[in-house]
Structure 1
């Protein structure tokens, strides 16, 4: 069952130590749009079903990425889409959003999502994998 939008944003706000829910929502929209471009198939649909509807639509709507972004390029892309962001603040935003996404997804789905992404995304999700 999907988490309520208010609860989802509040968890991101707390995790990211944002002053406002608006900041949490901005980070969530950007990160989920970029993530959605890199996921496909059943895993993307299953993740969308576990997110609030507004954020599920953001995850499902982007066009597929032409090529997968490395974690470093994902951070740079996020920084480019958030006004005033640096790579350091974008990394913080990504961690806040993706750690809450991973909790909503659960361990099994998160592992399957990470298999679709380039090496290193486990750290962005706050789920370091053994080498």
Structure 2
């Protein structure tokens, strides 16, 4: 079931402790564009089906990634695109959004399938550490 735009932004705003929905939206667009560049096929389509339509379009139409980014490089790339962000604040931003994505993935295996398409270490950014 697709999440409503207002509810999605509210979740991100709360988790990221942003002062406005606009800040949450800016973060969502950057992180979803980067995430979309790393996901393919049914996994990306299934996640898009759960996102508000505006966000689904960002996820489904990214610039293709030339190579998979490690979690650290993903955070650095986010910091470069989020106005005024540092690597430290970008880690917070990325985790705020990805934890909402993890909740949207629900109890089925979607999050596991997302993590399989990403380099090791993203489980921590999603707030779902995997047992070693």
Q: List gaps (5 residues or longer) in structure 2.
A: none
Query: Which residue does 2:11 correspond to in 1?
Result: 11
Deviation at 1:64, TM superposition (A): 2.2
After the TM superposition, list the runs of 4 or more consecutive aligned residues in structure 1 that deviate by more than 3 angstroms.
none
TM (norm. structure 1) is 0.98
Cα separation, 2, equivalents of 1:5 and 1:11: 10
Once the two structures are superposed, residues 71-116 of structure 1 have per-residue CA deviations (whole angstroms, 9 ceiling, x without a partner) of 0000000000011100000000001000001111114101110000
Deviation at 1:28, TM superposition (A): 0.4
Query: Which residue does 2:35 correspond to in 1?
Result: 35
TM (norm. structure 2) is 0.97
Question: 2:2–2:52: 8 Å Cα contact kept in structure 1?
Answer: yes
Question: 2:30–2:78: 8 Å Cα contact kept in structure 1?
Answer: yes
Question: 2:33–2:63: 8 Å Cα contact kept in structure 1?
Answer: no
Q: Please, which moves more after superposition, 115-124 or 60-69?
A: 60-69
Q: List gaps (5 residues or longer) in structure 1.
A: none
Query: Which residue does 1:122 correspond to in 2?
Result: 123
**Which SS does the other structure have where 1:113 is aligned?**
helix
Query: Which residue does 2:73 correspond to in 1?
Result: 73
